Amino acid sequence: MSENIAIYPGSFDPLTNGHVDIIQRGSRLFDRIVVGVLMNLEKSPLFTVPERVDIARSVFREWPNVEVDTFDGLLVDYARRKRASVIVRGLRAISDFEYEMQMALMNRRLNPDVETVFMMPAETYTYVSSRLVKEVVALGGSVSGLVPRLVEERLRDKKLSHETLKA
């Protein structure tokens, strides 16, 4: 029987506990879940792609059916290469819905064989985003409990400041 493989794509700059929660839920639903870190064209990411991959691999090193990989180009092409029939996305609130619906329908048009599945993170994380995590840290606040310990450490190493936010 063929494996039921899902892709969980994103920027993960950085990985938050909201992402971790979705990946754990996905790993229970699918035979394999591939965390696809987008090699994006964003001008000033905080973490390099290898740093983001390294973090996710460390966090999930004891989860045998979680793979961490990178991709560029169209997500549906990547899904085909990975033999994945599902794209997983987390939906936190109504505000996520419009962007997610556009992407899901565009991806369906590009490849009707790949289905997007939305999952809700635990309510504790519904307000957590990578962008806000960076902002809070840069302004001297604590993100303890909102990101994995390793991410907290790596954020500390980056020595973020007000200036970082302007970059």
Contact positions vs ligand PNS (CB under 6 A): 9-11, 38, 74-75, 103, 106-107
Active site residue: 27, 85, 130, 134, which one? 130
Q: Which is nearer to ligand PNS, 10 or 14 (CB)?
A: 10
**What whole-number distance in Å separates Cα of residue 153 and Cα of residue 157?**
6
Note if 92 is an active site residue. Answer: yes
Minimal CA–CA distance to 4: which of 104, 119, 117? Answer: 117
Note if 162 is an active site residue. Answer: no
Round to the nearest angstrom and report the end-to-end CA distance of the chain: 49
Record the tokens describing residue 38, joined without a space: 């987008």
Q: Which is nearer to ligand PNS, 129 or 164 (CB)?
A: 129
Note if 44 is an active site residue. Answer: no
Q: How far is the CB of 74 from ligand PNS (least distance, A)?
A: 4
Active site residue: 25, 92, 134, 154, which one? 92
In eight-state DSSP terms, residue 65 is: T
Note if 130 is an active site residue. Answer: yes
Q: How far is CA 40 from the centre of its chain?
A: 13
Q: Minimal CB distance to ligand PNS: which residue?
A: 10
Q: Which is nearer to ligand PNS, 64 or 75 (CB)?
A: 75
Q: How far is the CB of 153 from ligand PNS (least distance, A)?
A: 22
> Which residues, including other chains, have CB under 8 Å from residue 42's CB and lie 6 or more apart?
11, 13
Q: Which is nearer to ligand PNS, 57 or 80 (CB)?
A: 80
Q: Is the Cβ–Cβ distance between 147 and 17 less than 8 Å?
A: yes
**What whole-number distance in Å separates Cα of residue 20 and Cα of residue 56?**
9
Active site residue: 19, 25, 32, 89, which one? 19
Just list the catalytic residues. Answer: 19, 43, 92, 130
